[in-house]
């Protein structure tokens, strides 16, 4: 069965601190996709990144970076120099190669205080 | 980019009534759409997969007679919560598939009094 675990329920940091959100997944598929979404208080899901299982290169996009480690089945997300606008719930998700449905982790609520 | 729109964004209804939520793909055709439900402070749980022209596929534990899904066209899927009760109060969000990508609607917040 597929499963995504985000062990950190809530994280609170002070502005300008770096913060890493953890994501561990389980799947028997050899081809799969991993995602990160941001959900601000308004509720809509904001797509951040998609990574397929064959691409283990780390990615950086501005203050955001992602570390994909197949050996530990982890896909962690780091925000550098956090800002108050980063406050939101962040979801890690897993999708197989066929059906298209996403399996979401429990979410991590990030609070960045000024 | 691909846009998915949900309507209404918020709805309040009395217990026992039925509520319909629409999910539209505005600039693309979607043969497959997905309906998720999110209770406060919880994750998004897949309710069902909506397929154009055929019956929806429901996840285990989701009552198909209570949550009616109709995907009558390539741009519209509807979710009807029948005989709603306070425990059905939740955030309902749809997504539509275009190629290998999923695009999400803004979500619909249902409050049942």
pLDDT in tens, chain A (114 residues): 789 999 999 999 999 999 999 999 999 988 999 999 999 998 999 999 999 999 888 888 999 999 999 999 999 999 999 999 999 999 999 997 776 789 999 999 999 999
Is A102 in Cβ contact with B43 (below 8 Å)?
no
Is A100 in Cβ contact with B43 (below 8 Å)?
no
Chain A hits for B31, Cβ within 8 Å: none
Chain B hits for A91, Cβ within 8 Å: 43-44
Q: Rounded mean pLDDT of B85-91?
A: 96
Closest CA of chain A from B106, distance in Å: 5
Q: Is A8 helix (H, G, I), strand (E, B) or coil?
A: coil
pLDDT in tens, B14-60: 999 999 999 999 999 998 999 999 999 899 999 999 988 888 999 99
Contacts of A25 (CB under 8 A, 6+ apart): A2, A3, A4, A5, A34, A73, A74, A75, A92, A94
- From CA B90, how far away is CA A88, in angstroms rounded? 18
pLDDT of residue B86: 96
pLDDT of residue A26: 96
Is B104 in Cβ contact with A44 (below 8 Å)?
yes
Chain A hits for B109, Cβ within 8 Å: 43
Burial of B16 (0-12, 13-18, 19+ CB in 10 A): exposed
């Amino acid at each position: 069965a597929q499963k995504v675990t985000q062990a950190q329920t809530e994280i609170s940091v002070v502005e300008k601190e770096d913060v890493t959100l953890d994501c561990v997944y389980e799947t028997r598929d050899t081809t799969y996709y991993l995602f990160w979404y941001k959900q601000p208080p308004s509720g809509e899901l904001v797509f951040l990144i998609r990574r397929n299982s064959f691409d283990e290169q780390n990615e950086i996009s501005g203050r955001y970076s992602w570390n994909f480690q197949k050996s530990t089945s982890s896909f962690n997300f780091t925000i550098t120099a956090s800002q108050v606008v980063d406050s939101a719930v962040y979801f890690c998700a897993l999708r197989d190669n066929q059906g298209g449905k996403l399996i979401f982790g429990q979410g991590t609520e990030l609070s960045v205080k000024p | 980019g691909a846009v998915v729109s949900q309507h209404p964004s918020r709805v309040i209804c009395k217990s026992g009534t039925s509520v319909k939520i629409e999910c539209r793909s505005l600039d693309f055709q979607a043969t497959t759409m997905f309906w998720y439900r999110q209770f406060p402070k919880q994750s998004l749980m897949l309710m069902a997969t909506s397929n154009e022209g055929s019956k929806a596929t429901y996840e285990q534990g989701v009552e198909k007679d209570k949550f009616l899904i109709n995907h009558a066209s390539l741009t519209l899927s509807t979710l009807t919560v029948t005989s709603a009760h306070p425990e059905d109060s939740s955030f309902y969000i749809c997504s539509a598939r275009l190629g290998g990508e999923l695009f999400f609607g803004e979500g619909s917040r249902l409050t049942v009094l």
